[in-house]
Amino acid sequence: MKSNLLKRINIGKDTEGKLIQVGIDSFEKLAAIGSEQAFLRLRTIDSGACLSLLYGLEGAIEGTKWNELSIEKKHALQQFYKMVTPK
C-alpha cells in the first residue's frame, strides 16, 4: 500500500512501515490521531520506541524538524513520555 507519510518531514521508511503496521497509513490519519496516540500504538510493536520518535511524530504533524519544536511542546512531550514509560 502506498502512503503519503514519506513526504512528511521526520518520517523515514522504517517509521513509515511501523506506522502502517499499526493502522496509520496516511498523514491524515497521523494528524487525526495525534503524536501521543500514534506513539502508544507504535509502542505495541516496538518496545524501544524512544522520545526522539515521539518528537519526530509531532514534528511531522507540525511540519517542522523534530529538533525545532518549541521548548513548551518538548516539555509536554517529555512529561507524556515519562508517564507512559515503565521505570
Structural domains in the chain, CATH included, are 5-84 (1.10.150.20)
Say how far apart CA 71 and CA 45 lie, in whole Å: 29
Sign of the Cα pseudo-torsion (63, 68, 54, 49, in order): positive
Give residue 87's pLDDT. 74
Global confidence as pTM = 0.94
- The grid coordinates of residue 2 equal 502506498
pLDDT tens digits, 46-80: 999 999 999 999 999 999 999 999 999 999 999 99
- For residue 59, give the amino acid letter: G
Nearest-angstrom CA–CA distance, 2 and 58: 22
pLDDT per residue over 35-52, tens digit each?
999 999 999 999 999 999
Percent of the chain's residues with pLDDT above 90: 94
Residues 34 and 2: their CA atoms lie apart, in Å, by 21
Mean pLDDT of the 11-20 span = 96
